[in-house]
Amino acid sequence: MRAAVYRGSGEIRIEEVPTPTIGAGELLVRVESCGICHTDLKKVEYDLLPPPRIYGHETAGVVVRAGEGVEGFSVGDRVIAFHHIPCLDCFYCRRKLYAQCEVYRRVGITAGFEPAGGGFSQYVRIMDWIVKRGVEKIPPGVSFERACFVEPVNTCHKAVVQADPQPDELVLIQGQGPIGLLFTMLVRRTGARVVTTDTIPLRRELSKRFGAAESWDPRATDAHAEVMARSQGRGADLVIMAVSAPGLTDQAMRCSRPGSRILLFAQTSDQERVEFSGADICRQERTVFGSYSASVDLQHESAGLVFSGELPVEDLISDRLPLDRLAEGIHKALHPDGQSMKIVVLPQRWS
């Protein structure tokens, strides 16, 4: 089969590799769509993991082989699969901190080499513990392109549940790329008032379409003054940092009120540093917290939000690229132009 193999130092090559073999309890899935995620981008940009790897984890496709003992899935089923699933029995799982579970940290989907998601290939092997709890069937009439949003929607939904925005609260979401816009959709469902920032006009337009009351260019508008004007001079009740860029942590602090919550969502690299004044946290009683990856508890609900169309996720897709143009897609995602949004790879297509 063909796969996009990461070879280190930012280099991705399209190579012929063996189609994965499966064992008992496992599935072989033909990948029809896979979204490009910023966690994959960071692994490529910062060379975070040793090569070779086949990345891609926002995966949707068709079951082409089922191992002995598989229950609930058959050849021909259209499915999405999560690449991380927790044990549900360890210290962290009992506290619902699933992303800290040792089993969760094991990647359970591979296209070869060290398991890394594998969605940027034509076929993936889904391991047995993922098959048991981490695969969802795609209903008839739902496109593979829509379906591959289930995993990123879950990660954002988990964060929103953790942040717990209330209907009378003002929420500032920094960044309106694909993840930021998912946050806008999800927070708006809670009844909270949403305001957002982004430097790209198209993203600000989409932000307002998806529920933001206002969306500002932070280079041209004093976001702090605007937030204060809409909160009786207090500041935002919740700030969600959906993008990582210099100066945003300072803006988040300035725009938030005493006693507010600040969610770090895009700050996933060990190489990133966040600095706050101790008094802004301690004396002003702010809560700064993180949320990472998906929650198995929200898996079915997140799938329903995507499959039902309640979240118009397909409106976020700007590019649909064949597998051999993955490197172009990664470059575009790292350096977005005025029109680029979510980029989806279609591994069965070829230029």
- Determine the pLDDT at residue 185: 98
Element (H, E) at 303: helix 299-307
**CB of 103 within 8 A of CB of 42?**
no
The three-state secondary structure class of 163 is helix
- Determine the pLDDT at residue 285: 98
Dihedrals phi, psi of 314, to nearest 5 degrees: -65, -20
Determine the Cα–Cα distance for residues 47 and 6; give it in Å rounded to an integer. 10
Sequence spans of domains, the chain: 2-149+311-346, 154-290
- Determine the pLDDT at residue 245: 86
Q: Dihedral of the CA atoms 157, 163, 168, 170 (nearest 10)?
A: -90
- Determine the pLDDT at residue 274: 87
- 173: Cα separation from own chain's centroid: 15
Q: Would you identify the CATH topology of the domain 2-149+311-346? A: Quinone Oxidoreductase; Chain A, domain 1 (3.90.180)
- Determine the pLDDT at residue 272: 78
CATH of domain 154-290: 3.40.50.720
- Determine the pLDDT at residue 269: 75
* Stretches in the chain below the pLDDT threshold 70: none
> What is the number of residues in the chain?
351
CA proximity to 120, closest of 225, 207, 210, 15: 15
- Determine the pLDDT at residue 275: 87
- Determine the pLDDT at residue 45: 85
- Determine the pLDDT at residue 12: 94
pTM of the complete model: 0.96
- Determine the pLDDT at residue 73: 98
- 229: Cα separation from own chain's centroid: 32
